[in-house]
Amino acid sequence: MSIFVAVDQVDKVFPLTGGGEYVALKGIDLHIKKGEFISFIGHSGCGKSTLLNMIAGLDLPSDGIVTLEGQKVKQPGPDKMVVFQNYSLLPWRTVRQNIALAVDSVMKDLPASDRKAIVERHIDMVGLRPHADKQPTMLSGGQKQRVAIARALAIRPKLLLLDEPFGALDALTRGNLQEQLMQICEENQVTAVMVTHDVDEAVLLSDRIVMLTNGPGSKIGQILEVDIPRPRKRMEVVEHPSYYSLRSEIIYFLNQQKRIKKIRARKTTAIARHGLEKVNLDIGFVPLTACAPLAVAKEKGFFQKHGLDEVNLVRETSWRGIMDGMVGSYLDAAQMPSGMPLWLTLGGYQDRPLPIVTAMTMTRNGNGITLDKRFYDQGVHTLADFKKMLLASPERQHRMGLVHPSSMHNLLLRYWLASGGIDPDHDLSLQSIPPAQMVVDLQGGTIDGFCVGEPWNTRAAMQGIGFTVATDLEIWPGHPGKVLGVREDWANAYPNTHIALVKALLEASQYCTDPANEQEVRQIVAQREYVNTDIAYIHLGNPNEVFCSLDQPMREFAHHLFFGDGVNRPSRTEHLWHMTQLARWGHTPFPRNWVEIMERVCRVNVFSTAARELGVLDVKYTSGAIAMFDGTTFTADDPIGYLNNLKIKRDFSIAEVVLDSPRLSVAA
């Protein structure tokens, strides 16, 4: 279908009393097809109604253009009818007369009998026949809104615009009107744009949901495609498999915008001190045992020791929150899955490359693949057993959880499955789930297993819910787990701060590794502001004697490595392996300019400077081949040849990845 409504690079700026200006909307791009139902959702003040008014012609963009069927929208008109929350009916006219006023004004050339027939048909369409001769004061709120909808539809507008049309109605009336509106729009192929605060209403009515970020300078943060078939009935929609995932996606977005607003309200401009360009940092982390270096650096004063006086650790529930913090620039730095810097740099987020650099590997190991305990009881003890079980139950959709497409959990799980002849995209379903939700979902039976970092494998085993079928020590011993990530423009703007941050975390990592500090570190990590769990689930060493009571498989626990020979120095060979695996599964293209990408992402020089200033250069590092459990070896010699030789993979693409030139300014 061709574009019906086009909003192209629209900005809206309002002058402020006493001078200055307020940027309400910035860079809005949206194309609407004929017959689509689009909803705008976002927090108050994000510019939803402002955008609707510009599409209606009630206001004009400060920059950019809005078109309807290729014609620039310059003013309101009967081709764009707006239904407001406050009904806007003439109180001295009846239902029939309010509708007739619009029809008579727009359709003057039609015979009176035809105009009357249109009015009567629309009275019946909205179910107001018994109230046709009543004035608005004699109607309920829902009846008044039906009059407004009938009046708007009676003149056959090209576009129906609804500004929170059901916001003031009770739940029962609202539900009835929503179903009537859907039926009318579907039967008459109406193109509609609606502003709403109601998540369920957006999912029920929309073909696409446009989510706007906080103002000022609101942008389109995300557009959701609603894949629920029409015609829709409320109770049937609730039972559709996509309903709760769509609803959760919107709620996550709205909650994240609320958090961003709080963080930005607290955030101050860069404070320079002690020879550092910035000493006030917001650093993101996810509640895992792997956050120990950050927690220890905060609690034991290593940040302050290295001049970072005002460090705020921002606890995110999922890696997606970390990603949003990087994209939105409200985090200065973050603990990241080892593949996230590359994934963002290569355009994994909305196909927009965002250069991220890493100068430190914060942890190695610490991951495991856990299956439901019932599989163990059925004799599933190995990868080969798991494959037999999958082949024996083709009618059932088996699901496994992972934490993010860029994470080592995803890449290790996929590698493990593929090495056993299991196609991770065809033979089962992989779902991204926040780490802390893994055990709950496993216990609830919505997933059959997961790959995640500690303490969640240990917790599943100790609670008798799951068992660890493989640890990362059996797949790739010493693999990178979590890394320190910052935006490239941030690293270039604050080079001394970047080095100080690496120094603080290196010293904290060294503290975590000392056996004399183990109990203290466990207590810190288990605290409410970090992992918020029972200390029994936090293990820095080997907890097998605590919970591993299974006869087979008796596996060595994949405890974290925080510091030591080759632990913390970033490795370009390892990042190149990530790059091949991201391309292997279609997450990102393999960059033709991979050498340039490696040099941009992997900041070995920053790590080396920090290590030299700390005096830990005696820590040895050997760059070499990566040996995997299936007998294969990866080197940096021929990554494309390596990809081509993999048996199970997607059709990967090779492309030049164009990044912005390195800048010395930080994105706003």
Residue range 124-148, pLDDT digits in tens = 877 888 999 999 899 888 788 788 8
* Contact between 318 and 366 (Cβ < 8 Å): no
* Contact between 202 and 196 (Cβ < 8 Å): yes
* Angle of CA points 567, 545, 507, to nearest 5°: 25
Torsion angle in degrees (nearest 10) through CA of 441, 446, 449, 452: -40
The band of 618, judged by pLDDT with boundaries at 50, 70 and 90, is low
Separation between Cα atoms, residue 288 and residue 277, nearest integer Å: 30
Give domain status of residue 299, yes or no.
yes
For residue 524, what is the domain's CATH number? 3.40.190.10
* Contact between 237 and 228 (Cβ < 8 Å): yes
The band of 658, judged by pLDDT with boundaries at 50, 70 and 90, is confident
Lowest-confidence region among 85-89, 296-300, 529-533 = 85-89
Token couple for 147: 């009059």
* Angle of CA points 406, 412, 413, to nearest 5°: 100
* Contact between 483 and 358 (Cβ < 8 Å): yes
The band of 300, judged by pLDDT with boundaries at 50, 70 and 90, is very high
Highest mean pLDDT range out of 12-21, 494-503, 525-534? 494-503
pLDDT at 667 over 60: no
Give domain status of residue 83, yes or no.
no
* Contact between 408 and 480 (Cβ < 8 Å): yes
* Mean pLDDT along residues 469-490: 89
Cα separations in angstroms, 124 against 92, 101, 112, 144: 21, 17, 19, 14
Report the number of distinct structural domains present in the chain.
1
Q: What is the pLDDT of residue 239?
A: 86
* Mean pLDDT along residues 469-478: 82
Separation between Cα atoms, residue 488 and residue 479, nearest integer Å: 24
Separation between Cα atoms, residue 132 and residue 119, nearest integer Å: 10
Give domain status of residue 459, yes or no.
no
* Contact between 289 and 454 (Cβ < 8 Å): yes
Lowest-confidence region among 319-328, 478-487, 502-511, 622-631 = 622-631
Neighbours of 387 (CB within 10 A): 16
- Condensed to tens digits (0 to 9), the pLDDT of residues 562-591 reads 998 889 999 999 999 999 999 999 999 999
Q: What's the chain's Rg over C-alpha atoms?
A: 29
Task: Show Cβ contacts of residue 216 under 8 Å, excluding neighbours closer than 6 positions.
Answer: 22, 23, 24
Q: What is the pLDDT of residue 665?
A: 39
- By residue range, what is the domain housing residue 296? 271-364+479-540+561-620
pLDDT at 546 over 60: no
The band of 275, judged by pLDDT with boundaries at 50, 70 and 90, is very high
How confident is the prediction for the chain on average, in pLDDT? 88
pLDDT at 84 over 80: no
Give domain status of residue 320, yes or no.
yes
> 357 or 80: which carries more pLDDT confidence?
357
pLDDT at 467 over 60: yes
> 14 or 267: which carries more pLDDT confidence?
14
* Mean pLDDT along residues 152-180: 80
Q: What is the pLDDT of residue 140?
A: 84
Question: Cis peptide leading into 229, omega within 30 of 0?
Answer: no
Give domain status of residue 425, yes or no.
no
First to last CA, the chain: 37
Give domain status of residue 278, yes or no.
yes
* Mean pLDDT along residues 362-376: 91
Highest mean pLDDT range out of 151-160, 190-199, 292-301, 562-571? 292-301
Handedness of CA 489, 491, 495, 497 (dihedral sign): positive
The band of 555, judged by pLDDT with boundaries at 50, 70 and 90, is low
Q: What is the pLDDT of residue 550?
A: 54
pLDDT at 101 over 70: yes
Token couple for 330: 């409200």
Q: Which of 298, 287, 204 is nearest to 243 (CA)?
A: 204
Lowest-confidence region among 64-78, 306-320, 466-480 = 466-480
Separation between Cα atoms, residue 8 and residue 490, nearest integer Å: 30
The band of 622, judged by pLDDT with boundaries at 50, 70 and 90, is low
Residue 331 φ/ψ, nearest 5 degrees = -110, 135
Q: What is the pLDDT of residue 420?
A: 93
Letter string b/e over residues 222-238, b meaning 16 or more CB atoms within 10 A of that residue's CB: eebebebeeebeeeebe
H or E element, residue 350: none
* Contact between 547 and 613 (Cβ < 8 Å): no
User: Is residue 125 helix, strand or coil?
Assistant: helix
pLDDT at 621 over 70: no
pLDDT at 40 over 90: yes
The band of 312, judged by pLDDT with boundaries at 50, 70 and 90, is very high
Could you tell me what percentage of the chain is helix, strand and coil, using 3-state DSSP and rounding each to the nearest 5?
40, 20, 40
> 371 or 461: which carries more pLDDT confidence?
371
Q: Which of 516, 532, 537 is nearest to 524 (CA)?
A: 532
Give domain status of residue 592, yes or no.
yes
- Condensed to tens digits (0 to 9), the pLDDT of residues 392-425 reads 888 888 999 988 888 999 999 999 999 999 999 9
Rounded percentage of the chain residues whose pLDDT exceeds 90: 52
Give domain status of residue 396, yes or no.
no
Separation between Cα atoms, residue 522 and residue 518, nearest integer Å: 6
Question: Cis peptide leading into 337, omega within 30 of 0?
Answer: no
Q: What is the pLDDT of residue 542?
A: 54
* Contact between 241 and 248 (Cβ < 8 Å): no
Separation between Cα atoms, residue 223 and residue 591, nearest integer Å: 27
> 434 or 428: which carries more pLDDT confidence?
428
